[in-house]
């Protein structure tokens, strides 16, 4: 049930993000006098719609996007002042231009999008991505200042359980390694340690001291699990473990080798205490997330090659791999089932939604149609041409003919579909797990 709740939270959050993205386009467009004939969340068949004023508002069956239809997105050929070109691509462009012109009712030519000034076009097209950036900033504020982030202070709640006892602290488990005392005792992530043998536990340092000082085997350890107390029996072993300095970092010798010493070992680590962050920390976190997302988008072709190899079984899937809609849904479901508190579960879901909105912001700024950045690039080019004409005293140039980018839009659409299919397959056969 918790897994399903995670999926529902993700779906609702994604739909709200898409809806607000389109509001970011629609509001300034209407403000500037452009007629908005449709406002739709989703693609495919219409599930519900209502006409309010001059706009049809609705929801479609495939919740993977949305759109607002602004009349006159492309200038008609009469406004371009040049003869039509020949060729198959030219026919495709003329078809898109004609379809755009047919949306303009008699007497509404002044309300067409292509009639707007370049700055107003930029405002309309950036309105959607900027809305995603605002959503991400709000979500990060709620996470950091409202709920809090794990800090440096350890708690008495188990965060992770080591699966085995290794000969060296840095070794991974092998079939020959014995199971850790924590696993044998049945200790689980999310357990809060109440007592260790005869000692009551109130801090992580109490736990560390008790492990070292309470002798013997089958030590009774009382934990709180899902609102009830459970008594486990732990038998610590002696194993080589790292020696930590006063600042909490592992010590190394003159050769850089990790310093270890025999110590009583159980095999679990704590969670970190949740600490609310100041509002002043949010801009830096948002900027860091933006930088990381830009880097991911810039290296996306190489990352997709790695994802394809993982899907074909040629290599393991990296934990930092890009994921598609299936992978994101899986992560949301796993957060729902994770042995963590409700506040941290909510923080995990909000973090996913913040990341998605940042990705939508960055991705939509790519200067290729049908992405918003393609129309922004066309408006910037149009504004530059008009500024140059004014400076030279030349006649006002015709509107920027963004319709000529329609063949590119089809190509970009096919690339996005192919990329989505690769990610879906990879997320199913080689998923990334938390």
Alpha-carbon span 434 to 420, nearest angstrom: 21
3-state secondary structure of 206: helix
At which residue do the structure tokens 């970092």 appear?
249
> What pTM, to 2 d.p., does this model score?
0.84
Rg (CA), the chain: 29
φ, ψ (nearest 5 deg) of residue 245: -85, 180
10-residue stretch averages of pLDDT, the chain, 434 residues long: 87 94 97 95 91 94 89 83 66 80 87 93 97 97 94 86 70 77 91 93 91 90 91 89 68 78 87 90 95 92 88 84 89 85 90 96 92 92 91 86 84 89 89 74
pLDDT of residue 283: 95
At which residue do the structure tokens 């310093």 appear?
259
DSSP code for 173: P
User: Is residue 78 annotated as a catalytic residue, yes or no?
Assistant: no
pLDDT of residue 81: 67
Alpha-carbon span 109 to 114, nearest angstrom: 9
pLDDT of residue 263: 83
At which residue do the structure tokens 């089932």 appear?
337
Q: Where are the alpha helices (DSSP H) in 229-341?
A: 282-298, 300-311, 325-337
Residues 343/147, Cβ–Cβ less than 8 Å: yes
Q: How far is CA 189 from CA 4, 171, 211, 258, 423, in A?
A: 21, 21, 18, 27, 30
Residues 186/232, Cβ–Cβ less than 8 Å: yes
Q: State the helix-helix crossing angle for 2-31 and 325-337, rounded to 10 degrees.
A: 130
Which residue in 246, 240, 200, 247 sits closest to 224, CA to CA?
200
Residues 195/223, Cβ–Cβ less than 8 Å: no
Alpha-carbon span 254 to 417, nearest angstrom: 54
Q: Does residue 62 have a cis peptide bond before it, meaning omega lies within 30 degrees of 0?
A: no
Q: How far is CA 334 from CA 136, 316, 318, 348, 360, in A?
A: 22, 20, 18, 10, 23
Element (H, E) at 45: strand 36-52
DSSP code for 276: P
Alpha-carbon span 432 to 300, nearest angstrom: 17
3-state secondary structure of 220: strand
Which one of the listed residues 22, 91, 261, 337 is annotated catalytic? 22
φ/ψ bin of 76: left (φ > 0), alpha (ψ from -120 to 50), beta (otherwise): beta
Structural domains of the chain, with CATH: 1-28+126-148+282-434 (no CATH), 152-275 (2.30.42.10)
């Amino acid at each position: 049930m918790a897994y399903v709740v995670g999926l529902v939270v993700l779906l609702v959050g994604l739909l709200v993000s898409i809806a607000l993205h389109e509001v970011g386009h629609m509001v300034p467009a209407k403000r500037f006098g452009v007629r908005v004939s449709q406002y739709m969340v989703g693609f495919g068949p219409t599930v519900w719609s209502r006409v309010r004023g001059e706009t049809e508002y609705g929801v479609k069956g495939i919740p993977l996007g949305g759109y607002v239809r602004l009349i006159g997105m492309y200038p008609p050929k009469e406004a371009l002042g040049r003869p039509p070109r020949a060729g198959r691509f030219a026919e495709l462009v003329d078809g898109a231009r004609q379809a755009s012109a047919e949306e303009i009712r008699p007497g509404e030519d002044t309300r067409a999008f292509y009639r707007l000034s370049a700055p107003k076009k930029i405002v309309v097209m950036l309105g959607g991505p900027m809305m995603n950036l605002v959503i991400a900033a709000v979500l990060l504020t709620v996470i950091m200042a409202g709920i809090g982030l794990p800090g440096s202070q350890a708690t008495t709640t188990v965060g992770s359980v080591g699966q085995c006892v290794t000969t060296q602290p840095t070794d991974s488990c092998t079939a020959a390694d014995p199971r850790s005392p924590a696993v044998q005792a049945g200790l689980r992530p999310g357990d809060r340690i109440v007592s260790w043998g005869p000692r009551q536990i109130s801090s992580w340092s109490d736990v560390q001291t008790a492990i070292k000082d309470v002798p013997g085997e089958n030590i009774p350890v009382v934990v709180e699990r899902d609102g009830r107390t459970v008594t486990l029996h732990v038998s610590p072993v002696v194993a080589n473990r790292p020696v930590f300095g006063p600042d909490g970092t592992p010590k190394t010798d003159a050769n850089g080798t990790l310093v270890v010493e025999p110590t009583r070992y159980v095999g679990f680590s704590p969670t970190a205490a949740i600490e609310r962050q100041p509002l002043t920390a949010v801009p830096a976190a948002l900027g860091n997330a933006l930088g990381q997302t830009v880097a991911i988008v810039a290296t996306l072709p190489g990352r997709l090659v790695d994802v394809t190899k993982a899907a074909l079984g040629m290599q393991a899937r990296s934990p930092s791999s890009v994921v598609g809609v299936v992978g994101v849904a899986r992560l949301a479901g796993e957060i729902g089932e994770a042995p963590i508190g409700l506040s941290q579960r909510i923080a995990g879901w909000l973090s996913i939604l913040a990341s998605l909105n940042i990705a939508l912001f960055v991705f939509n700024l790519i200067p290729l149609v049908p992405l918003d950045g393609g129309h922004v690039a066309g408006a910037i080019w149009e504004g530059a041409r008009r500024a140059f004409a004014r400076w030279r005293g030349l006649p006002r140039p015709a509107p920027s003919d963004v319709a000529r980018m329609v063949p590119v839009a089809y190509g970009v659409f096919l690339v996005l579909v192919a990329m989505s299919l690769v990610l879906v397959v990879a997320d199913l056969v080689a998923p990334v797990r938390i």
